[in-house]
Structure 1
Amino acid sequence: MSDSSTGLKARLRSDLTTAMKARDAIRSSTIRMVMTAIKAEEVSGTTARELSEQELVTVLTREAKKRREAAGAYDDAGRAELAEKERAELAVLADYLPEQLSEDELRTLVAEEVSAAAAAGKSGKAAMGLVMKAVRGRVSGRAEGGLVAAEVKNQLEA
């Protein structure tokens, strides 16, 4: 596997060095955690490989989702200090993720794909898979899958 890093991966390495020099414990531990997740993804499967930018965003999105869910679970359990730590890590991860779509932008994008599916003769639950696939391709890391699915379902049932 070559060491010619992608832009995002190189930025993570550089930011890790900066965070370590600044003794920023949250930032450095979060970036280390992400780099470990990236390395695990690169060596999973039958052959080691370098991840594409899109695959890196997918790993970051997955890690951000874990932090969001953990913060909610800690809140529910009355563990505010642990929830805050998860939110701090989530804030670090947000620096590396593409800007998220607003609710209106997502709603508009889904509406376009629902219309396209209707034009192709698909509607209701039968169109769910078709619309989800199309929207997922256009969203690419800018909206969480659960939010996309909820909006698609909402519009198909309307």
Structure 2
Amino acid sequence: MELRAKLQAATKDAMKAKDSERLSTLRLIGAAIKDREIALRGGDTDGVLTEGDLVAILSRMVKQRQESAKAYEEGGRLELAEKEENEIRIIQEYLPRQLDEAETANAIDTVIDDLGATGIRDMGRVMAELRVRHAGQMDFGAAGPKVKARLLN
């Protein structure tokens, strides 16, 4: 089932179950998707989002909530940090499985070998290819230093 259909079905299920926290998060996801579609209508596309676009929206939402949770924890607002963490868990249910450390290292090595990357000048190409192959599956902020270290060796 495609991601959009999964989200719509989950929203209906949350309404039926009267799960207000889950329903609220799913409605936030729906609003973010709708906002992005509206923003795209003015361009050369007809406002239709691909699965990759939806994964990118969800990934961005997770990152925003992680930053908010961290800020709340630093500010001593643990109840708000917990709310953000709960939203993260719900959103992550609809993202592809995240690669672990070993899988990330293996993916980096594979892309470097496939592209024949030999030095730091190839870092942009390697990162771009990682984004294509593993969108939504890895933290590219953490992968960047690993790619750089690998290319410098």
TM-score normalised per structure 2: 0.89
Identify unmatched segments of 5+ residues in structure 1. 1-5
Instruction: Name the residue aligned to 1:112.
Output: 110
CA shift at 1:37, angstroms? 0.4
Instruction: Name the residue aligned to 1:155.
Output: 150
**In 2, Cα distance between equivalents of 1:58 and 1:146:** 14
Instruction: Name the residue aligned to 2:18.
Output: 23
CA shift at 1:144, angstroms? 2.0
Identify unmatched segments of 5+ residues in structure 2. none
Query: Structure 1 residue aligned with 2:140, among 145, 154, 158?
Result: 145
Instruction: Compute the RMSD of aligned alpha carbons.
Output: 1.7
**In 1, Cα distance between equivalents of 2:139 and 2:35:** 22
Match runs of 1:1-158 below 5 Å? 7-45=2-40, 46-47=42-43, 48-117=46-115, 119=116, 122-123=118-119, 125-158=120-153
CA shift at 1:148, angstroms? 2.1
**Cα 1:80–1:157, aligned 2, differ >3 Å: closer, same or farther?**
farther
Partner AA of 2:28 in structure 1: M
Partner AA of 2:58 in structure 1: L
The percentage of counterpart residues that share the same residue type is 37
CA deviations 1:55-88 (Å, max 9, x no partner) are 1111111111111111112112221111100000
TM-score normalised per structure 1: 0.86
CA shift at 1:33, angstroms? 0.4
Runs of 4+ in 1 over 4 A off after TM superposition: none
